[in-house]
Amino acid sequence: MRLNHFVKAAILAMGSTLAVSSVMAAEITGAGASFPYPIYSKWAEAYKTATGNSLNYQSIGSGGGIKQIKAKTVDFGASDMPLKVEDLNTDNLAQFPAIMGGVVPVVNLDGVTPGQVKLTGPVLADIYLGKITKWNAPEITALNPGVKLPADDITVVYRADGSGTSFVFTSYLSKTSPAFKTGVGAGTAVKWPVGVGGKGNEGVAANVQKIKGAIGYVEYAYAKKNKLQHTQLKNRDGSFVQPDDETFKAAAAGADWAKTPGFAVDFTDAAGKTSWPITSASFILIHKSQADAAKGKEVLKFFEWAYKNGGAAATELDYVAIPASVVKLVEESWKAQIKDNAGKAVW
């Protein structure tokens, strides 16, 4: 039986609609660090508008992201703690930086303004060790002449989940305080001597907001979004600096990405008069062998788009975009490492 012209047209139109819907419905999934969640959310919204493709990213902490990518339950994992090359090789993972930013101490104190209180690494470490317990302790007042600090008890707030933000924060404290290094050490999950836990940057920010006299540590975008009182910090060169994208850029300026295996650059406590001392990158983890090559390519297309188009959004949220010279290295690493099951490059 021959189909008439109108039936043929309807079938062709339906096929075209299904093809478009298939493209429009493309979705990638990721999970992990809460540090980059604000910028990944903003990028995802803009990316969907630009391409029709979606990113579903779950902010579950770096530890969770590493577990999920190893288990292959997501298309990519995200971690603020870079994995060592031997760990990447064990699980056949590739790693690359997506964004840079700063971790900031935040406080809940009456009578002070954001950025007014000054702290140093050793004093901050002693607070988290439970050695300094009052806001008007001599160690703090000596750093803050002219600032009326309350006699409130200090309530320490820390990350209760496996956290790359905790890794960055404890790495910094371990570098500036021998007592912290031996007593607690650096890691995504450490045994805190004192304090209360919060899940994610979101949970720490919420606890600091509701507990008078609290101190916590969060990615800077959370401090701004929640109007938290961040502190100044004294950097390695002896300067007290405020957190912002310029001081984060200054800390990252000396990073040698090309010679660092797995791009695992650590620039906490970086040299430089204007460097913010708790600056870090956030990393993406993806399997080198992609069973679904099209899905693997979609992940890389998202980050390629973000590198090219996401800089303004990053600056708006006080993150630092990955420099073009590093992006070139990253994309070369994609071509070299990420293959389909037949060994053909995905990118």
Amino acid 8: pLDDT: 47
Residue at 22 is within a domain: yes
pLDDT digits 0-9 by tens, 317-340: 989 999 999 999 999 999 999 999
Please give the mean pLDDT across all residues of the chain.
Answer: 92
Residues 134 and 197 in one domain: yes
Residues 112 and 83 in one domain: no
Amino acid 124: pLDDT: 98
- State the total domains in the chain: 2
The pLDDT of residue 3 is above 80: no
Residues 26 and 79 in one domain: yes
Residues 110 and 154 in one domain: yes
**Alpha-carbon torsion, ordered 142, 147, 153, 157, to 10 deg:** -90
Amino acid 254: pLDDT: 86
Residues 232 and 178 in one domain: yes
Residue at 302 is within a domain: yes
pLDDT mean over 196-207 = 94
Residue at 247 is within a domain: yes
Q: Domain of 41: which CATH number? A: 3.40.190.10
Residues 70 and 161 in one domain: no
Buried b (16+ CB within 10 A) or exposed e, 74-107: bbbbbbbbbbeeeebeeeebbbbbbbbbbbbbbb
pLDDT mean over 32-47 = 96
Domain enclosing residue 130, as ranges: 103-253
Residue at 269 is within a domain: no
Residues 135 and 96 in one domain: no
Residues 41 and 160 in one domain: no
Residue at 272 is within a domain: no
Which alpha helices (DSSP H) does the chain contain, by range?
5-24, 37-51, 62-70, 85-90, 121-128, 138-141, 164-176, 178-183, 200-210, 220-225, 245-252, 293-309, 311-316, 324-337
Q: 225 falls in which pLDDT band (50, 70, 90)? A: confident
pLDDT mean over 196-216 = 95
pLDDT mean over 23-48 = 90
Residues 88 and 26 in one domain: yes
Residue at 347 is within a domain: no
